Amino acid sequence: MSLFIKNGLVLSSADAVPQIADIKIEGNQIVEVGQTTASNSDHVIDASGLLLAPGLINGHFHSHEHFHKGRYDNLPLELWMHFVRPPVGAEPLTPEQVYLRTMIGAIEALRTGTTFVVDDVNHAPWFSQDCIDAVFRAYQDIGLRALVSVSLFDLPFHRSVPFFDEEMPAVIRQPLDTQPPPDRDRLLDLAKHLAHQHHPQRHRVGYIVAPSAPQRCSDTFLLQLHQLAEQQNLPMMMHVLETRLQAVTAGLLYQRSMVAHLAELGILSPRLALQHCVWSTANDIEHLANAGSSAVYNPLSNLKLGSGQMPLRHFIQAGVNVALASDGCGSRDSVNMLSVVQATALLNKSPQTLPAQWLSAEEAFRLGTEGGARAFGYADRLGRIEPGYLADIVGYRLSTPAFIPLNHPLRQLVYAETGCAVDLVVSDGIAVMQHGQLTQINESALIAEILSTHQSLLRSLEASEAAVSQLLPYYRRICDRCRTVPVDPDIVTWDNHPSGSTA
């Protein structure tokens, strides 16, 4: 199939000057941009009045949190995360419920200008292969490009914090510890199966290797997953140093930073993207730069959870590739990447730094497109509207107030509220949205099913939250205790100040 998009105002990249042009697409690839003809094209779209830009890339969220949207506030990560990964009180979902849950974020992504998502799905003992398949099927059906992981760890998740034995009463601790540990061999077999069935070089919806975090995995398991990614030529991602508590954890577990530990294991590589990286030292940043690894900036979820801000400018100046992400709907409540790009530019203008060092709209947009492409194995294939690139394109209506008057299309796209302006989305060469309507699914019917399913699960969700709430006072004591433990004074903060021992 071939597609011809004519008369659009094409913003081919963050650095380009927008120009009225046509885009010719053969299969899933852009073959021509400029003044051309629609000869032999199977489908023609008139993009007059649209700003055509590269689709945004969401480098990290968790679709298992979509039913938790809006339920939590003023909870730091180590308290909040047990609600969306409950060690007790959770009931299994059916594959159809998982499918509908996944669709929540997929619909919002397309409607806010995102064409590529990286979904880190919680894996529990009861999460069946059919449920995992349902996640892949949802992205296939709606037309999004996606990398789907199953979050892997072989150590008990509830023990991934310091001082657990000292602060958690035995009456609560012992039932948790009687649960069977994650089956490492089964998880490795699952990862190998998904790599074979959904390799991203062969499929629009592909698999990414995702050890959850260093403190939740044995060194042996981390090395096995790294070896799998290397042998199968797969991208890999991992959470690291999201909170001050995790910086404390690193010192207690490894007597060094988590990034330094990964470097010593030989796991850092260009295929690895590290999520968050808020509490990083200058040496950590140098390790990532030398290894060619990427950092994924989650500004809004980090703000909402009180985790702090990744020192973005330090990473960029060191030569580290940076991608952007929304994080999950349990923490951020939205997967809208336009708001993330906007926050990236706005939050990195500080009275503590010279204006010449502030982040521009162009830089933020580049991180949300080309930065994400490079982080996940699509360098020189995604993030620009140019011949040879995959056809992931978003058209924004220039008649909406955000673009009137039109002085600087990219800055207005980044700084104004433009999500409602999305009119056209092309993903992998297919128009999955036209005239503001999704073309591959029955959106209204799906939303009705999603609402009905959420209502049917609400009592179970509330019961799970009640069970988890019994653990919170003790996890809060752990968090409070960690606040008194000194961290590495070389940790770099976003505004160039040293973190200090009690930051």
Average pLDDT value for residue range 22-36: 95
DSSP secondary structure letter of residue 244: H
pLDDT digits (tens, 9 = 90+) for 214-232: 999 999 999 999 999 999 9
pLDDT of residue 499: 41
Q: Which 3 state secondary structure label does DSSP give 324?
A: strand
Higher pLDDT, 125 or 266: 266
Between CA 133 and CA 144 the distance in angstroms is 15
Average pLDDT value for residue range 18-26: 97
Beta bridge partners of residue 117, listed in sequence order: 58, 146
pLDDT of residue 494: 73
pLDDT of residue 246: 98
Provide CB contacts within 8 A for 149, sequence distance 6+.
Answer: 118, 119, 120, 121, 207, 208, 209, 210, 237
Residue 242 corresponds to which tokens in the numbers above?
A: 């999201």
Rg (CA), the chain: 22
Residue 27 corresponds to which tokens in the numbers above?
A: 């299969």
pLDDT band at 501 (very low <50, low <70, confident <90, very high): very low
Higher pLDDT, 124 or 257: 257
Between CA 471 and CA 28 the distance in angstroms is 49
pLDDT of residue 417: 76
Between CA 477 and CA 148 the distance in angstroms is 35
Q: Report the phi/psi class of residue 241: left, alpha or beta, with left for phi > 0 and alpha for psi in -120 to 50.
A: left
Does the structure show a pLDDT above 70 at 497?
no
Higher pLDDT, 37 or 20: 20
pLDDT of residue 197: 97
pLDDT digits (tens, 9 = 90+) for 335-362: 999 999 999 999 999 998 899 989 999 9
pLDDT digits (tens, 9 = 90+) for 76-107: 999 999 999 888 777 889 999 999 999 999 99
- H helix or E strand, kind and range, residue 8: strand 2-10
Does the structure show a pLDDT above 70 at 502?
no
| Average pLDDT, rounded, for the chain | 95
Does the structure show a pLDDT above 90 at 19?
yes
Give the architecture-level CATH label for domain 55-383: Alpha-Beta Barrel (3.20)
Provide CB contacts within 8 A for 234, sequence distance 6+.
Answer: 195, 199, 200, 207, 208, 209, 228, 271
pTM, full prediction: 0.97
Other residues' Cβ atoms within 10 Å of the Cβ of residue 480: 10
Does the structure show a pLDDT above 50 at 503?
no
% of the chain at pLDDT higher than 90: 91
Does the structure show a pLDDT above 50 at 243?
yes
Average pLDDT value for residue range 437-455: 98
Q: Which 3 state secondary structure label does DSSP give 155?
A: coil
Provide CB contacts within 8 A for 422, sequence distance 6+.
Answer: 110, 111, 112, 113, 394, 395, 396, 397, 433, 436
pLDDT band at 126 (very low <50, low <70, confident <90, very high): low
Average pLDDT value for residue range 419-428: 94
Average pLDDT value for residue range 403-422: 92
Q: Which 3 state secondary structure label does DSSP give 88?
A: coil
Query: Helices H, strands E: what count in the chain?
Result: 18, 17
The residue type of 90 is A
pLDDT digits (tens, 9 = 90+) for 153-191: 999 999 999 999 999 999 999 999 998 889 999 999 999
Range with lowest mean pLDDT among 40-49, 53-62, 445-454: 40-49
pLDDT band at 495 (very low <50, low <70, confident <90, very high): low
pLDDT of residue 418: 75
Residue spans of the domains in the chain: they are: 55-383
Between CA 276 and CA 485 the distance in angstroms is 21
Distances (CA, A) of 281 to 247, 251, 487, 490, 492: 10, 13, 10, 5, 5
